[in-house]
């Protein structure tokens, strides 16, 4: 038994820790205290913790507070954490102390013990101390908020924004490919006046483009780091230059414009930047939900639905119906969007729990925010590459539906008046005939005028010129 465990001590007494674990007493206590969900901090967050601890070692060395040898060992160990080498040594549940102190200490213990291991020492000996050396100049109360910002900024810049730009690019490509396709517009899911497919898709592209702008607009607030505020924002036990130098060191390491928080009390008491970003992610999710549902409707069929497009056939759609193919990528996207919207509720509620000098919902804010970023990034890329890029257009069916759409009678309103146009539409519906043919019988418009006025492409190109407008007499129009 003694070969499988080691005994460590913290301020509360002795704790039995797995003999080969890099974590120590405080991590073990948290593992035992919080057997709640099985959810762990994700890789981006642990990466951010490693980057912060490596920067702290360098900054404290440069400030003359940490000797060269310890600083070098701590930095090496912290870099290994950032690179993902020791993710299995972060076993603590997300649902823990609201400050994330358990996870900060988890990082401190892993880095300290790995540094000891590198120098050939004994695990748990604390010759490199998790608090005194690894956590020097820091508190969980400024480390965890900073890790949220660093992790989120990195994930947004490295994954989410590139994925959204890829989706935007693919949509613009489809705009160019479908400008010759005039289809039936729909409002309230009912037939409306014609629209070019390129125009419809351009609306999707604009949604994604504006989503990119919205997310980019949050980044300046996300770039502010709480480091240097320590326990309550006053900077107790940190060098006066620590916060500024830490932000500069992390900025240099990542190539991102991190800066010291403009107000440390706000940076630790609140999580407004995380709430803001989550809100923008929710907006993007709403946009992508709309696009995904449009794709599902347009793909519906192939016989009894709209069948305007055919999404790529990626997998069999039914365990009982042979030949069935389902719109699996848009369906996956709608579920992602629902999850992101739910995550935003949690982040928003979490942002409200800033009691005096500290927010106490930091772990769950971190988990939900980072999950939303990851889900949207992955799903946007999948939607671009496996749905948008490969769908084909059923041009013949679309053209036939446009020709038989009585709503195109709207184009005759300026010439014959609304009431007369309504009579034509009603008769066309009832008889299953084209508006053009019914209008020829019910008005004195020539075949050439009807061809021009009811040309589907022309109906997608904006307002009438005014040349064809003849004010209808009171009580009716030209007939």
The reported pLDDT for the residue numbered 476 is: 46
Are the C-beta atoms of 136 and 66 separated by less than 8 Å? yes
> What is the band of 2 on the pLDDT scale with cuts at 50, 70, 90?
low
Catalytic annotation present for 188: yes
Q: Looking at the whole model, is its pTM more than 0.75?
A: yes
- Per DSSP bridges, beta strands 13-18 and 259-260 are unpaired
Residue 1 confidence (pLDDT) above 70: no
Q: Rounded CA gap, 423 and 421, in Å?
A: 5
What are the residues facing 183 on neighbouring strands? 195
> What is the band of 242 on the pLDDT scale with cuts at 50, 70, 90?
very high
Q: What's the average model confidence in pLDDT over 26-40? A: 98
The residue from 188, 262, 319, 465 that is catalytic is 188
Catalytic annotation present for 37: no
The reported pLDDT for the residue numbered 459 is: 93
Instruction: From residue 99, give the alpha-carbon distance in Å to each of 11, 42, 73, 103, 431.
Output: 19, 17, 27, 9, 70
The residue from 37, 125, 220, 318 that is catalytic is 318
Q: What's the average model confidence in pLDDT over 376-403? A: 96
Reported residue count of the chain is 479
Give the model confidence (pLDDT) of 164-184 as tens digits: 999 999 999 999 999 999 999
Three-state DSSP class for residue 180: coil
Give the model confidence (pLDDT) of 186-237 as tens digits: 999 999 999 999 999 999 999 999 999 999 999 999 999 999 999 999 999 9
Q: List, in order of start, the domains of the chain with CATH numbers.
A: 5-136 (1.10.275.10), 142-396 (1.20.200.10), 404-479 (1.10.40.30)
The reported pLDDT for the residue numbered 462 is: 75
Are the C-beta atoms of 89 and 73 separated by less than 8 Å? no
Residues in Cβ contact with 283 at an 8 Å cutoff, skipping those fewer than 6 apart: 211, 214
Give the model confidence (pLDDT) of 320-368 as tens digits: 999 999 999 999 999 999 999 999 999 999 999 999 999 999 999 999 9
Q: Tell me the two tokens of residue 58.
A: 């360098």
The reported pLDDT for the residue numbered 466 is: 46
Residue 477 confidence (pLDDT) above 80: no
Give the model confidence (pLDDT) of 390-429 as tens digits: 999 999 999 999 988 999 999 999 999 999 999 999 999 9
Q: Rounded CA gap, 206 and 322, in Å?
A: 38
What are the residues facing 393 on neighbouring strands? 309
């Amino acid at each position: 038994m003694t070969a499988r465990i080691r005994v460590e001590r913290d301020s509360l007494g002795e704790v039995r820790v797995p003999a080969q674990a890099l974590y120590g007493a405080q991590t073990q206590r948290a593992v035992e205290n919080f057997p709640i969900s099985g959810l762990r901090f994700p890789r981006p967050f642990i990466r951010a913790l490693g980057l912060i601890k490596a920067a702290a070692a360098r900054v404290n060395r440069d400030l003359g507070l940490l000797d060269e040898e310890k600083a070098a060992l701590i930095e090496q160990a912290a870099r290994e954490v950032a690179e993902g080498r020791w993710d299995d040594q972060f076993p603590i549940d997300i649902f823990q102390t609201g400050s994330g102190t358990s996870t900060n200490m988890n990082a401190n213990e892993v880095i300290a013990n790995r540094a000891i291991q590198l120098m050939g020492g004994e695990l748990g000996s604390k010759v490199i101390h998790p608090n005194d050396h690894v956590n020097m100049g820091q508190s969980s109360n400024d480390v965890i908020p900073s890790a949220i910002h660093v992790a989120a900024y990195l994930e947004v810049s490295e994954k989410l924004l590139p994925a959204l730009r890829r989706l935007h690019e693919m949509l613009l490509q489809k705009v160019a490919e479908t400008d010759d396709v005039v289809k039936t517009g729909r409002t309230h899911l009912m037939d409306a006046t014609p629209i070019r497919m390129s125009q419809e898709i351009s609306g999707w592209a604009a949604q994604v483009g504006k989503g990119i702008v919205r997310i980019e607009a949050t980044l300046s607030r996300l770039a502010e780091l709480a480091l240097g505020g320590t326990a309550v924002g006053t900077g107790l036990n940190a060098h006066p230059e620590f916060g500024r130098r830490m932000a500069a060191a992390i900025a240099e390491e990542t190539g991102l414009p991190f800066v010291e928080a403009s107000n440390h009390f706000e940076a630790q008491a609140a999580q407004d930047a995380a709430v803001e970003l989550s809100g923008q992610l929710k907006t993007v999710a709403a946009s992508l939900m709309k696009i995904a549902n449009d794709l599902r409707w347009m793909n519906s069929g192939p016989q009894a639905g709209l069948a305007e497009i055919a999404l790529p056939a990626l997998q069999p759609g039914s365990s009982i119906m042979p030949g069935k193919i389902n719109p699996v990528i848009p369906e996956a996207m709608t579920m992602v969007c629902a999850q992101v919207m739910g995550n935003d509720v949690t982040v928003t509620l979490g942002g409200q729990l800033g009691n005096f000098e500290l927010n106490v919902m930091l772990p769950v804010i971190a988990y939900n925010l980072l999950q939303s970023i990851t889900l949207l990034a992955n799903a946007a890329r999948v939607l671009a590459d496996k749905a948008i890029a490969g769908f084909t257009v059923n041009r013949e069916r679309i053209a036939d539906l446009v020709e038989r759409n009585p709503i195109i009678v709207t184009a005759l309103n300026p010439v014959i008046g609304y009431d007369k146009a309504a009579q034509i539409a009603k008769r066309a519906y009832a008889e299953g005939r084209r508006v053009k043919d019914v209008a020829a019988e019910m008005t004195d418009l020539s075949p050439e005028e009807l061809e021009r006025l009811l040309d589907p492409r022309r109906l997608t190109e904006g307002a009438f010129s005014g040349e064809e407008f003849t004010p209808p007499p009171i009580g009716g129009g030209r007939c």
